Amino acid sequence: MKAPDFAYARPTVLSEVFDLLDGDGDVRLLAGGQSLVPSLNMRLSAPSLLVDINRLPGLSGIEARDGVVRIGALTRHGEIARSALIAERLPLLAMAAPHIAHAAIRNRGTFGGSIALADPAAEWPACCLALGATMVVASRAGERRVAAGDFFTGLFATALRRGEVLVAIEIASPPAGSVAHFSELARRRGDYAIVGLAAQVARAEDGAMDPRLAFFGVGDRPVLAEATRRVIAGGGGIADAQATLGRDLAPTGDAECAGATKLHLARVLLGRAMAALRTRGDA
Ligand SMILES: Cc1cc2nc3c(=O)[nH]c(=O)nc-3n(C[C@H](O)[C@H](O)[C@H](O)COP(=O)(O)OP(=O)(O)OC[C@H]3O[C@@H](n4cnc5c(N)ncnc54)[C@H](O)[C@@H]3O)c2cc1C
Q: What tens digit of pLDDT does each residue of 273-283 get?
A: 999 988 875 53
Q: Which residues pair with 28 in a beta bridge?
A: 50
Q: Whose CA is nearest to atom 17 of ligand 1?
A: 109
Q: Whose CA is nearest to atom 53 of ligand 1?
A: 34
Q: Is 165 helix (H, G, I), strand (E, B) or coil?
A: strand
- DSSP character at residue 268: H
Q: Whose CA is nearest to atom 48 of ligand 1?
A: 36
Q: Is the CB of 14 under 6 A from ligand 1?
A: no
Pick the CATH number of 179-279 from 1.20.1050.140, 3.30.450.20, 3.40.50.300, 3.30.390.50: 3.30.390.50
Q: Is the CB of 75 under 6 A from ligand 1?
A: no
pLDDT at 269 over 90: yes
pLDDT of residue 281: 55
Q: Closest Cα to residue 108, out of 83, 82, 77, 81?
A: 77
Q: What is the pLDDT of residues 174-231, one digit of tens each?
A: 988 899 999 999 998 889 999 999 999 998 888 789 999 999 999 999 999 999 999 9
35 C-alpha to center of ligand 1: Å? 4
Q: Is the CB of 123 under 6 A from ligand 1?
A: yes
Q: Is the CB of 133 under 6 A from ligand 1?
A: no
Q: Is 14 helix (H, G, I), strand (E, B) or coil?
A: helix
225 C-alpha to center of ligand 1: Å? 25
22 C-alpha to center of ligand 1: Å? 23
113 C-alpha to center of ligand 1: Å? 5
Query: Is residue 13 within 8 Å of residue 56, measured between CB atoms?
Result: yes
Q: Whose CA is nearest to atom 44 of ligand 1?
A: 116
> Once rounded to an integer, what is the mean pLDDT over residues 59-78?
96
Q: Which residues pair with 44 in a beta bridge?
A: none
CATH code of domain 7-52: 3.30.43.10
Query: Is residue 230 within 8 Å of residue 161, measured between CB atoms?
Result: no
Q: What percent of the chain has pLDDT over 90?
A: 88
Query: Is residue 166 within 8 Å of residue 136, measured between CB atoms?
Result: yes
Q: Is 213 helix (H, G, I), strand (E, B) or coil?
A: strand
pLDDT of residue 283: 36
Q: What are phi and psi of 126, to 5 degrees?
A: -65, -40
Q: Is the CB of 38 under 6 A from ligand 1?
A: yes
Q: Does domain 62-172 have CATH number 3.40.190.10?
A: no
* The ligand 1 atom nearest the CA atom of 166: 42
Domain ranges of the chain: 7-52, 62-172, 179-279
What contacts 13, CB < 8 A, 6 or more positions away? 56
> Once rounded to an integer, what is the mean pLDDT over residues 84-92?
97
Q: Whose CA is nearest to atom 2 of ligand 1?
A: 101
d(CA 142, CA 127): 26
d(CA 168, CA 106): 18
Q: What is the rounded end-to-end Cα distance, in angstroms, of the chain? A: 51
CA atoms within 13 Å, Cβ hemisphere of 73: 26
Q: Whose CA is nearest to atom 28 of ligand 1?
A: 33
**Mutation choice for ligand 1 from 35, 45, 102, CB with most ligand atoms inside 8 A:** 35
